[in-house]
Amino acid sequence: MPDKVHCAHILVKTEQEAKTILERLNKGEKFANIAQEISLCPSGKRGGDLGIFGRGKMVKEFEAASFALQKGQTSDMVKTKYGYHIIKRLE
């Protein structure tokens, strides 16, 4: 298990918005473009890039999903107290 991961994410308020993002990604739209367009997180301006982070730095649901992904893989929706996230592992 890695000690650190490099991820990007898209944060939205509702489950329906998260489903729509997944549909757009499945149709081939670029993750970073969607993040810049609609993510509620300030990281959206950087295509959702959160940089490299270690364990214990994110809320538990987000951390568990991030560390479970393989490089280049995108998560299903992940619900946290902040809303719904779609996470992509970059490195």
Share of the chain above pLDDT 90, in %: 97
The structure's pTM equals 0.95
Please report the DSSP string for the chain in residue order.
--SEEEEEEEEESSHHHHHHHHHHHHTT--HHHHHHHH-SSGGGGGTTEEEEEETTSS-HHHHHHHHHSPTT-EEEEEEETTEEEEEEE--
Domain count, the chain: 1
Tens-place pLDDT, residues 20-34: 999 999 999 999 999
Domain containing residue 78? 4-89
For the chain, percent of residues with pLDDT exceeding 70? 98
* Residue 33's CATH number: 3.10.50.40
